[in-house]
Structures are given as C-alpha cells and as structure tokens.
Structure 1
C-alpha cells in the first residue's frame, strides 16, 4: 500500500505522476526541478528571442531545486534531515558540477550527516532546466 503526495507548494509535475509516494517509512520523490511554483519560470535562465536558452545559472537553479524538494518533503510530513539518497541530473557536468557542489555544501555542511548522492551528466531534461533531483527520504518512526 502506498500514498501519493501532491505538494501544492512545488511546481506542477510535467507529466501524469505525483510529487512523491510514501511506502511504509520511505518517501520516494519524483524528479524535482528548479521551476518556480507560481510562475513556472526557470531561475537563472537567459533566453534568446526565439525562446532558446542562451545561458543558465546553476547556482540559482540549485537553490531553487532545493527549495522545491523541501516543499515536497514538508507536504509529505518529512524533513530535510530525512533525506537518505539523492540522484542529481546535470545537463552540463563539465560546466556545472563545481557550482552545484558548492550549493550542496551550503545545504549539507556536514558530509557525515548528508544523504548519499550520485551525480549524472545527461543530454537534456524535459523542460529548459539544467538540474533535476530524484530523492528518497526515510521517516523516523
């Protein structure tokens, strides 16, 4: 048995899936990006006249994606400290890993208390974002 979570304070999913699903004491978050929950804008993106992305600011997007993950965790009854595993998808590993890693360190200053993390470089994401997180949290019983 599992419970689907719809987090009103997070950006709407871009497909037909919940923000998260709770199974026992585990919470599985769907991929969460940095889109603004109210405007759907992508922080730090600079666009050309044709709508294509000229530049992105990985720091702005990383801060926004963490805020969105927090919103889903809170809507689910979980806390930031409940995260146990994070998979990070970056569309430009060579350019963005260092900047993303700096933001990660702000949010998780103690490595021993941080969740496990895997970072992957990928070609694209379904919206004009440079980062997406897939998270698992464990509720304290």
Structure 2
C-alpha cells in the first residue's frame, strides 16, 4: 500500500507532486531544494541553499516517520560541480557513519534558475520492517 507524505505547508501540492511516498517500510522523498517556507530560494549562496535543502529534507523525512539517520540513499543534484567540496561538508554536517549511498550529479538547471542544489532520498521508516521479496532464478 502506498501512503502519501504531506508537510505543512506543502509546496509540491500545486504541481501534483508528493513530498514523499511510503511503501513497504521505505520512504521515497522528492527532491528538496533550498527554498524557504515562502517557496523562494534562500539568499546567501550555495551553502545557504544546501543547508535549507537539508532542513527541507529533514522535515519531509519526519513527516513520513523517518529521519536523517535512516537515509539509505541520496541523490544530490548541483548546477555547478565546483561546489563538490561544499557538498561533502554538508554531508559531513547532516549525516553520520555509516553514510548513505550517494550520487552527486551536475545538471544544467533545476526548476528555477536561482536553485543551485536539490536533494532526493530513500530512507527506512523508523521501526518498520523493510520488505524485500526477491525471486531466485
């Protein structure tokens, strides 16, 4: 059964997107950018946007019954790979060992020209068994 994750405010609602979806003990969080509650990208450059993106990620995870400690995999999109060391610093600040699996990719643009970073995640729901059903063959 799929369960939609909702935050308040939910900036994704007008675009027919879910903040996240719970399925089989896992939580799939949509990309979180460096936008404040007003929907506008925060000022202050890459690190400020990165901190806000992680705050938004934390909020969505908590709304889905998880947290940063239960993140299994993140994908981090940046518009300039020159910020790679900043991404490492953000990961160090918000994650701890064992660190989640990660993909960092430079892309041409995000949903608005002001956005420099977006983070999506897969996490285990705290206390829920992760259901894996593999057929051998």
TM-score, L = length of structure 1 = 0.82
Match of residue 137 from structure 1: 123
Match of residue 114 from structure 1: 99
Post-superposition, which runs of at least 4 consecutive aligned residues in structure 1 deviate over 4 A? none
RMSD of aligned residue pairs (Cα, Å): 1.5
Distance, in Å, in 1 between the alignment partners of 2:90 and 2:68 is 15
**Gap regions ≥5 residues in structure 1:** 46-56
**Gap regions ≥5 residues in structure 2:** 129-137
TM-score, L = length of structure 2 = 0.84
Would you say the 8 A contact 1:58–1:100 is kept in 2? no
Match of residue 40 from structure 1: 39
User: How many residue pairs were aligned?
Assistant: 125
Match of residue 101 from structure 1: 88
Deviation, structure 1 residue 26: 0.5
Distance, in Å, in 2 between the alignment partners of 1:36 and 1:63 is 11
Deviation, structure 1 residue 7: 1.1
Residues 1:58 and 2:52 are matched in the alignment: no
Residue-by-residue CA offset, 1:9-59 (whole Å, 9 max, x unaligned)? 5x602721110000010000111111001x2221235xxxxxxxxxxx111
Match of residue 80 from structure 1: 68
Would you say the 8 A contact 2:68–2:94 is kept in 1? no
Distance, in Å, in 2 between the alignment partners of 1:134 and 1:74 is 14
